[in-house]
Amino acid sequence: MPRNRAPVDRTEKRAEIVTAATRLFVDDGYDNTTMGKIAAAAGVTANTIYWYFRDKDQLLIGVLDDVHAQTLIRFTALGELPLGDRILWAVRELTGYHRLVDTVHVRKAQSPEIDDWHNAFHSTWEGWLASNLTLLGVSEADIEPMTRVIVFVIESMLTHPNTELENRATVDVLLRMVDPPTS
């Protein structure tokens, strides 16, 4: 008579799959990572992944949700560092996930679910930027365009990597434009 396997906590197994997928998507890229590779890394069969995720894009969203949740925890721990320091931290953090960032920008054109995730991500961080700009005294009329400018600068730093010193100089100039020193 076959032995029954020990019950596996569904949440734990899902987390193992997401962890394996995260590592492979970051190291090898989304397109180079098959569901079979993810299954092998997670110690499950490929079919098992489909019990938890409808398709590879839904798994990508699971990875993105997990990475974003962990990032928010680390970001919150920064406390009240100056705005420039927090922006540079975000650039360093996103740089570590550059393959995921690139994948989201490619896949959002092909997947409404990933486009929705991307829009929600931007909404979260643009809201944070807008509230910080408000605290700096930026006029209400300038909040949205200045938020957009800061996002464009961050995205530029991700697609055109610079040294930490170059990024610092860019952010410092940007923030002086937002909050010029008084004479």
Q: What range does the domain containing 23 cover? A: 8-53
Per the structure, how many domains does the chain have? Answer: 2
Q: Taking the CB of residue 61, how many other CB atoms lie within 10 A of it?
A: 19
Q: Give percent above pLDDT 70 in the chain.
A: 93
What is the per-residue pLDDT across 124-140, written as a single tens digit (0 to 9) for each?
999 999 999 999 999 99
Decide if 35 contacts 46 (C-beta within 8 A): yes
Residues 174, 98 share a domain = yes
Average pLDDT score over the chain? 92
Q: Tell me the average pLDDT across 49-61.
A: 97
Would residue 85 count as lying in a domain? yes
Residues 43, 102 share a domain = no
Helical segments of the chain, H only: 10-28, 35-42, 46-52, 56-76, 83-96, 98-107, 112-135, 140-159, 164-178
**Is 3 a residue whose pLDDT tops 50?**
no
Predicted TM-score (pTM) of the model is: 0.88
Residues 85, 32 share a domain = no
* CA distances in angstroms from 10 to 39, 48, 61, 121, 140, listed in the order given: 15, 11, 18, 26, 47
Alpha-carbon dihedral angle through residues 169, 67, 61, 156, given to the nearest 10 degrees: 10
What is the per-residue pLDDT across 9-32, written as a single tens digit (0 to 9) for each?
889 999 999 999 999 999 999 999
**Is 1 a residue whose pLDDT tops 80?**
no
Q: At what angle do helices 35-42 and 10-28 cross, to 10 degrees?
A: 120
Decide if 13 contacts 45 (C-beta within 8 A): no
Decide if 72 contacts 127 (C-beta within 8 A): no
What is the per-residue pLDDT across 157-176, written as a single tens digit (0 to 9) for each?
998 989 999 999 999 999 99
Residues 163, 81 share a domain = yes
pLDDT reported for residue 9: 83
Task: Return the amino acid letter for 129.
Answer: L
Cα(130)–Cα(141) distance, rounded to whole angstroms?
11
Cα(27)–Cα(7) distance, rounded to whole angstroms?
31
Residues 46, 131 share a domain = no
Would residue 122 count as lying in a domain? yes
